[in-house]
Amino acid sequence: MYKIAVCDDVSLFAEMIRELIDEFFSENEMDYDIDMYCRGEDLLRGLEENTYNMLFLDIELGDMNGVELAKEIRKYNDEMLISFITSYREFSCSGYKVNAFRYIIKEKTQLRSFVNECLSSALRLYDVKNQKRLLKFREEAKFVQINEIVYIESNGHDLIFHIKEGNTEREYHMREKLDVMEKYLNNVLFFRANKSELVNMMYISAQEKDKLYLDNNRYIKLARNKGKEYLYTYCKIKDKYL
């Protein structure tokens, strides 16, 4: 079941969003659940007891700023997609700091198309992220979800997998070629940054010349002439999956 939260202090607009979500999932014959919040504090309490796939969050809540609220949420939850609801077409750059998925403009004439596009893209990403692969590590053989693989590096004849497990990251090892593993994973979210590293674009926070930044100032070096290829690949899949 796909779980959604909506947090907007304007009840009339919040209900409009809810009705559009209801219509979308009913038309697509999918199971879903929606929880409504009108205050940021209520949302934070709700997140202690519930896990949501998507959050529609008003940027200008009555009791707190939506972007600041999103920053607080990101301290312990970086999986949930956050789509900001705003009255303005000029977006704050701070939205990128919390990995905003979409911006929903409060325009009645276009609201349905904004919400439908947002949900369609979110569900495509959900399907791609949750694909599983059986990986036979030295440590153990296990099924791993695509969204749990941060990046893979080649070290001689071995591969080192950086796997996200909850709020931590663990290394697993396997004797295999990176070319073979890239074909086996066969997922649009992975980008071959250089000869020895394959990175999940979900975890890339920024590009700077020949570097792809992850978290905590970690970066992966781009091979020569790979910068343009990364931008092209990212732009190609951004609207569909990211």
Reported as a single tens digit per residue, the pLDDT across 49-65 is 999 999 999 998 887 88
Maximum distance among all Cα pairs of the chain, rounded to whole angstroms: 60
The parent domain of residue 226 ranges over: 132-241
Number of domains in the chain: 2
Do 100 and 150 lie in one domain? The reply is no
Do 138 and 35 lie in one domain? The reply is no
Do 147 and 102 lie in one domain? The reply is no
Do 96 and 152 lie in one domain? The reply is no
CATH number, domain containing residue 20 = 3.40.50.2300
d(CA 145, CA 84): 27
Q: Give me the chain's average pLDDT, please.
A: 91
Domain-terminating residue out of 129, 161, 194: 129
Domain-terminating residue out of 129, 150, 175: 129
Which pLDDT tens digit goes with each residue over 169-219? 999 999 999 999 999 999 989 999 999 999 999 899 889 889 999 977 899
Which pLDDT tens digit goes with each residue over 108-164? 889 999 999 999 999 988 888 889 999 999 999 999 999 999 999 999 889 999 999
Domain-terminating residue out of 105, 129, 153: 129
Do 120 and 25 lie in one domain? The reply is yes
